[in-house]
Structure 1
Amino acid sequence: MSKTLVILATTSATTTLEKDIKNEHTSRFLRYRGVPKCLLPISGRPALSWWYDTAYHIYEHIYIIATAHSYKHFERWASGHAFPKENILNSGFSQGAISDISFAHRVKDIAEDLCIVPADLLFDNSRGLRLLETLKQAKGNQIIYHIPEHGDDPRIQRITTEHGSGLLTKEDTENVKKSLICPLAYNMGSSSLKQLDSYLRLPDHQASDVSLSGSITIPSLQEDLLAFYETQEYVQTIEQEFVSAYGYLDPSVTLTDYLKTWEKLLDTNIPPRSPKTFPNHQSQPIITRSNARVGLMGNPSDGFYGKTMSLLISNFWAEVTLIPNPLTQVEYGSISILPNPVADPHLFSSIESMAVISQTDGYDNGDRLLQACCKVFFTHCQKNNIKIDVKQGFSVLFETNIPRQVGLAGSSAIITAFWKTLLKFYGVTDEDIPLPLQASLVLSAEQDELGISAGLQDRVIQAYGGLVYMDFEKQHVDQYGYGQYERLNIDNLPPLWLAYVADPKDSGKMHNSVRQRFANGEPAVVEAMRQFAQLTTDARDALEKRDHKKFASLMSQNFNTRRAVYGDAALDKANLRMIQLATEHSCVAKFPGSGGAVVGMWNGDDEAHRNQDLQELRWALEKEGFVFVEIQPKANDA
């Protein structure tokens, strides 16, 4: 029997529990401020989740009617329950339950009988007959309500209904109101659904909260529904017994009641966890690193179907620590991104400090890198039938000492380190996702998910480690989604050094105009990218012969070609000054990335003067505020 379930989450009145939480200013409850009562945790899960897990097996269609204020909360809840986002209906600001149901009826063109339950209904599916199954068997207009029995446990109440037929008189309705807090559920026949719009046009129709005897309050959605049922020609109640955690519906439930009675109500429904029942459980932290890189030749042609040579270096790195959730954690499957006090500050010593840090570091944060990485990883595994056990969650944090915004691949190092952590945690191997594809997926996290302008070079070298020659020939990239990569012998490299600016600027800005010029087919740009590719091939040959003089000459050509295409204004005075100082001290240098740093090597004629030249270069750079380091190549990134 086809049946539609509507979950009404449109009551406008704030419950006592929600008010109490808003008045609590401790860290424990701040995360629940503004959260609808039905989404507060009961035994570690939102109250609604406990019975939705049963509902979606029973009903063909389920809709949640929310308000403009609560919609985002339900949207977030839906993301964790495979609940279709289009089935969350935003009613704006509710004009009553009948108006909301009429809205759903019109928008979703509901033709069959409708089952209606309040969102903060809470019951124990594991005990007695199930409310949702009983409700689905109902036909026509039926009301299921609760009559408290003296001495019963206030948490778990027996449901008793009176059997009857014919018109539900006002006297019957008043008796119902006086004997219960509010009805549990309704069934509305398809013929009555068609009368909703006519009912709403009645001049005396209005929805309002109604106070009854004692401290009992009927929420407007319940009062509105009962008023509508009074107008129907045939209403019945079904005689059925089942067990329910009914009292949570009471809008006067306080925070004290919640902590004492409801917060852990269904703990007995959670089977104890053990390594035997969760064989894939992990207990040890996973720590991974991904190092900075320098582009030695060919960059920036990696973003233009060119060729590059890149080197991973040991000097700087990003490190990710994943801490698996313990078996005892209530929210065993949850994932938490822990803030990095330097990269993602949430605490500032003063408003002046906040302003200075915002001006210096900008507003981008590393949390979004981890979040995007998780999304790309999970989506790829899902689409390619790579089985991962997602029952266990984790906490994760990152640290990085890679200088920011100087073109050393700091952001991709964070994502790559986390990517490697996810591979280990979920037991995914390089056979499941080959290294070339991993690099492309990491790029996707930045480029497609976050809109960061980037090329494949950084992700490839951080996936492979060592020294890698990369060919991004267009036909191959278009066909496979990645280029052709070759590991080279790092022992053939000359000694290298790195210098970078103390006050860097956005490393992504330099690419913008050139990318558009390349897309437009500008001959000078197209030819420059061809030259970069050729320089890279020549550099590979020079290293194989250990011809360091030739390699130095190619580095100079790489820089000169880049300067001709980008222009001095784009390259920035500080970058050009580092190149000039290198030349003055018998060295050659080029940009290792998109700007803010230079990578260089000594190119003098008398080997006896090497150390002196490099020492004087270091002092000259440091005097003008630059940082100088000798590069330590890293053979791999394991």
Structure 2
Amino acid sequence: MICILLVAGHGTVLETEIKQNDETGLYSHLIGVPKSLLPGIGGMKILDFWWKTVNMRQLFTEVYIVTNADKYKYFERWATANDFPVENIINDGSTTLSDSLGAVADLELVIRSRKLQDDIMVIAGDMLCEDQNFDVAQVIRFFRSKPGELIIYYEMEKGEKSTSRGIVEVCPDSHRIIRFLEKAKDGLTSSRLASVVFYCIQKETLPVLSDILSQMEVTDGSFGRFWEEVINKNLLDVFGMKLPTGFQLIGQVTLSDYTKWLNCFSAKQQDKSSKPITCRSYARVGLIGNPSDGFNGKTIAMTINNFWADVTLVKSQTLVLLPHPLNDPTEFGSLQDLFSISRKEGYLGGLRLLQATCKKFYQFCCKQGIALTKQNFTLKYDTNIPRQVGLAGSSAIVSATLKSLMKFYNLTDNDLPKPVRANFILNVETDELFITAGLQDRVVQVYEGLVYMDFSKNLMEEQGYGNYISLDMSSLPQFWLAYLNDPSDSGRIHNNVRQRWLSGEPLVVEAMKTFAEFTDQARVALMDKNWNHLAQLMDQNFELRRSVYSDECLGPGNLKMVALAKQFGSAVKLPGSGGAVVGLCLDPAKLVEMRQAFQEAGCVFCVITPYNPSASTGNSQL
């Protein structure tokens, strides 16, 4: 591949303003300096960043710079100081803005004069970028996976106006650009995706480039008008890739614009370098419908404030995953100590969850056309969610890790919508770590709060995810939670039910339909604040589960907790896969007595504090 850096612009506004308005003399040294050689972030010249980004012989056979006759000497001097081949600087002969060729004609000049016959990457060398340390190899791989040209775009911030940008509309599935609007008028599009002068063009397109240009009604020679014509008239197939960072073209801009963008981008870089990112995800309890979430059923679940997982990410020189001192032990007091810890905690802590999430995140971004910046980080986690009691501790760590990565790389809900995010978390656990799991935990940890979930087969097949609705959390009754001090592996409770369901066993198939019916009835009970009916449904949920899974599968510990709760007249069911029970006791006096009874039986008992995202102080970050 060949890279072409375009730096032939004749920006006069900035220079004129410095001459007329800079009474301090702070910017007088910039008079006459080409835009791409102006200071960028950290004092480096803007062009220095781009040269650093593309100066990789394993990716580019040649790199060319196209400039004008007026500024040629500046780039010749820059080339000798930066180990750039002077013979690769191409002079387009223009000396003023009025006789400039335009960006598209400059590109054609390089192709013709150097007889290029390879794929081409085109970049405007006078673009100020918030973070130019992105992975160009990732861009090239994505380009070569698509049967057409490639345009890089970014998502504009609130203050940016679409009337000053080339706006693209992108198909989220194919990543094909279906419409291009150069300096779009207000109301023409709702898209906030702005194209930048950063393109990849196939070698097969080069011979016909001149023909396309001659047939077009382009008057200003800009790439914006070029792509608008090419895309909207379907002359070429063009695809889009997102860079999750800010861009500004230092074209005909004022001194205040230039200094504002420079200060803004510099502040963001400093903020990202110095401030750690901490994101939290919460444990959840399934209130009704589980375990039908894995069987095209319906559930209602709730995140709780009692237990959580935190993941902290801070920028670093190398990528480091820090083991948790308790959950990922590598030092033991003795062989007996190792035996006791391994017997109770198992062999696998949370470190594998961090690693699998990072791996899946990079893979997802490559597939979805999101070019990540090349910056490293240190990742660590902490959690107080009890292990192996079915409170979704593993998925909480994965969820919090994903939140941290999205925030670090400036990804938004548009890049990873909530339904897709829940699928992503499930895939980390099932595909990468072979953990038996369903969607319920991941959905409620992404949406947070009290969530109704419909996993009907038609929904899952048509859109790839279910129907997820956040429910009102005001005036909820008092739920409680109890769990075993020494639980067995909660995963065993699933037994062979899935195979029985897949084979169409009537008992299992009908049970999953009934769980879904319980969920719909519970949703009405929650809306009507009919707590007695909700309690009855919770009891019925457990009894149906017991009839399908058998007492042997449920295990004596779970059955013991259920029986104890029923002695006090409380509704009770399993909140997850086993090891804990969740209940609804409508008699406050009996709740106190029941707590004591559970504690005397060797269980941990706690009153649930629901986590309501609408009333939170921002702990979850995203």
Same fold (TM over 0.5): yes
Alignment partner of 2:283: what SS?
A: strand
1:438 equivalenced with 2:436 (yes/no): no
1:85-96 aligned within 5 A: none
- 1:341·1:347 contact (CA, 8 Å) conserved in 2? no
Please list, as runs of the form range in 1=range in 2, the aligned pairs for 1:501-520 lying within 5 A after superposition.
Answer: 501-520=484-503
CA distance in structure 2 between the aligned counterparts of 1:572 and 1:536, rounded to whole angstroms: 25
Q: Does 1:54 align with 2:38?
A: no
Equivalent in the alignment of 1:371:
355
Aligned amino acid, residue 496 of structure 1: F
1:386: how far off?
2.4
The whole-number CA distance in structure 1 between the counterparts of 2:471 and 2:371 is 34
Separation in structure 1 between the aligned mates of residue 436 and residue 529 of structure 2, nearest angstrom: 34
Structure 1: gaps spanning 5 or more residues: 1-51, 60-125, 130-273, 326-331, 604-609
Deviation at 1:380, TM superposition (A): 1.5
Q: How does 1:4-19 map to 2 (within 5 A)?
A: none
Distance 2:268 2:562 in 1: 57
Give the one of 301, 306, 326 matched to 1:315.
306
* Structure 1 ranges of 4+ moved more than 6 A: 126-129, 274-279
Distance in structure 2 (CA, Å) of the matches to 1:284 and 1:584: 52
CA offset digits 1:268-316 (Å, max 9, x no partner): xxxxxx9979975622100111010000000000000100000000000
Counterparts of 1:55 and 1:517, CA distance in 2:
54
Give distance in 2, aligned partners of 1:359 and 1:586: 35
How far has the Cα of 1:339 moved from its partner? 1.0
**Is residue 460 of structure 1 aligned with residue 451 of structure 2?**
no
Check whether the contact 1:492–1:544 (CA below 8 A) recurs between aligned residues: no
Distance, in Å, in 2 between the alignment partners of 1:423 and 1:316 is 23
Match of 1:159 in 2: none
Does residue 293 (structure 1) correspond to residue 284 (structure 2)? The answer is yes
Cα distance in 1 for partners of 2:84, 2:440 equals 61
Give the root-mean-square deviation of aligned CA atoms.
2.5
TM-score normalized by the length of structure 2: 0.56
Task: Name 2:519's counterpart in structure 1.
Answer: 536
One-letter amino acid matched to 2:477: P
Matches of 1:276 and 1:551, distance apart in 2: 53
- 1:621 equivalent to 2:598? Answer yes
Aligned to 1:633: 610
SS of residue matched to 2:490: coil
* Correspondence for 1:348: 332
Aligned counterparts of 1:425 and 1:452: Cα–Cα separation in 2 = 27
Once the two structures are TM-superposed, the CA of residue 577 in structure 1 deviates from its matched residue by 0.9
Amino acid corresponding to residue 476 of structure 1 in structure 2: L
Q: Which has the larger radius of gyration?
A: 1
Distance 1:383 1:128, change over 3 A: closer
> Residues 454-493 of structure 1: matches in 2 within 5 Å?
454-493=437-476
Distance 1:407 1:311 in 2: 13
Check the 8 A contact 2:283/2:304 in 1, yes or no.
yes
Aligned 8 A contact 1:492 1:543 in 2: no
Contact 2:484–2:557 (CA under 8 A) maintained in structure 1: yes
- Distance in 2, Cα, partners of 1:288 & 1:337: 16
CA distance in 1, matches of 2:84, 2:606: 72
Report how far residue 611 of structure 1 moved: 2.9
Instruction: Give the TM-score, by structure 1 length.
Output: 0.55
* Structure 2: unaligned runs, 5 residues or longer: 1-54, 63-81, 86-262, 614-619
Please give the secondary structure, in 2, of the residue aligned with 1:490. coil
Provide the C-alpha distance between the structure 2 equivalents of 1:601 and 1:424, rounded to a whole number of angstroms: 37
Instruction: State the Cα deviation string for residues 128-175 of structure 1 (Å, max 9, x = none).
Output: 99xxxxxxxxxxxxxxxxxxxxxxxxxxxxxxxxxxxxxxxxxxxxxx
CA–CA separation in structure 2 for the residues paired with 1:541 and 1:343? 41
User: What amino acid is aligned across from residue 310 of structure 1 in structure 2?
Assistant: A
- Listed one character per residue, the Cα deviations across residues 243-292 of structure 1 (whole Å, up to 9, x for unaligned) are xxxxxxxxxxxxxxxxxxxxxxxxxxxxxxx9979975622100111010
Correspondence for 2:537 among 521, 532, 554: 554
Q: 358-367 or 414-423: which moved more? A: 358-367
| 1:84-483 alignment runs, 5 A limit | 280=269, 282=272, 283-325=274-316, 332=317, 334-388=318-372, 390-483=373-466
Alpha-carbon separation, structure 1, partners of 2:299 and 2:598: 27
How far off is 1:466 after superposition? 0.7
CA offsets, 1:522-554, max 9 Å, x none?
110000000000000000001111100000000
Q: State the 1:127 CA deviation.
A: 8.0
CA shift for structure 1 position 631 = 0.2
The C-alpha deviation readout for 1:479-498, integer Å capped at 9, x for no partner, is 22211001101124211000
Tell me how far 1:476 sits from its aligned partner. 1.2
> Per-residue deviation at 1:512?
3.4
Which amino acid letter does the alignment assign opposite residue 439 of structure 2?
L
Alpha-carbon distance in 2 for matches of 1:369, 1:398: 10
Q: Distance in 2 between matches of 1:279 and 1:497?
A: 44
Aligned residues: 366
Identical-residue share of aligned pairs (%): 49
Whole-angstrom distance in 2 between the partners of 1:453 and 1:277: 45
